[in-house]
A and B are shown apart, each in its own frame.
Chain A
């Protein structure tokens, strides 16, 4: 049998190979797209995890409420470095979350919300009644002397209300409740030890809490008229004058004497030794704090004072303490038709001719009216905690019952 030397024709096989190449090309495309999509998905999930873990870090730092550093390992493999530090009357938590070369940083100012409602007024037992005159209103729980309140007549004004106190009354202890905060956290040394010192501040600036604190210290008086925001402490050995045009957000001011010009508005913490004055219509928004810390009164003729003029509004807290209290010249808080919402703790005397929405702890009241000086008298004053929002976080200065809930006040 003769065998022909035949070759397989390549037409069909050629098509098949072409088809193979085509399908291979499509498959490579599919594989490439899948791989790119997977990478994007993984990257996106990583970012999501880091963001959630970073916020968790902020909340965790706030819940521990202890100044210092700590590390957390997250379930997704991220790690967070959490730093909690004092920031005047409040605390700041900084959370830095890492995953390989990726990094997310956030910081927040936080406070502690108490389940226990603070009394609207706490006056220690001095065996003296408090006279209420004019349109004075006290709404809420009160801790007062066993002699309680009485209707008074000062400056030609009788007490006009129907009942003296709209709320429960309890007898107080002989002293104010102790402060839970260490007062040295308001010292300049707390900030200066690790701060970056600035020579001058000419331009508007924003300072991140993720960086070391910036400190501008001057031996002369400082005039502030710029926009400063964040992790900045302005200190003067003389005085600080804040102009109405200044814009301050979460900045700390430290000086013996601090004055806010009429019309100023901002979020600021002012720490002074001798005097803080808010002229007319100064708005200190939440969270703000005025702290008067009298170290030693060398001249009893000059009373260490916080003075809030007409139309001024302070949202946050006011604290007046004296390391060596002088009963002839106690630290003095005066509200002249001003409003404070939050916590006021005064180891001296309070001259209240305005409104405190929140809680007032004071050693005694004083009053200048009708050409006379009175102690333990109130004229046209309002003390109430009915209007305070439920989620308002007061400064955590006083020991209380129950477990506090950490609350982030603002994140940056």
Chain B
């Protein structure tokens, strides 16, 4: 694969530091909350309904599945995810400051509970291997297209119907596929913008003049775009 030398620095994050970005992401969210008060404070309800602190294996499985599908750290998907080193499936999914996971979990389950159950089982069967999860997910059409819908949820904050994805899956298809923005919060947390080292249009926590410099410019300590976001390992 031909690769731009300029992309070298944001390759796959070393597996030894999967939890490093967690504190960063939490902080970024807090900064965003402060900076974009007009945009956010009244728009977004304060996240974190009273969720039980006790482990929810289904939610943990969903997060592990999502990390494998998106290639993004669990700690970015759910910033207060508390890893149980001995038993990953009994980890605490956390009441995190972003907390779109509950909306996504509910949306995917509502689409097709049986297939969603199969996907969770895949994650439970392979809780530590993204490769194994992806292989298992792609084994059947039902799981494959619901998995794609889940990726698009995390990347874009929008719901694409798995049936529409299947209908348009002939290689090279060019077509419009309708989608629905899940919530205001889901749009502002879309991962594709961070993956592009940018921010959702209309929702940024960066500061005046940052656009004149490259992301992660060492002279710009406020720009933390895409710091260690991408991973091929889970959790």
A-B complex is real: no
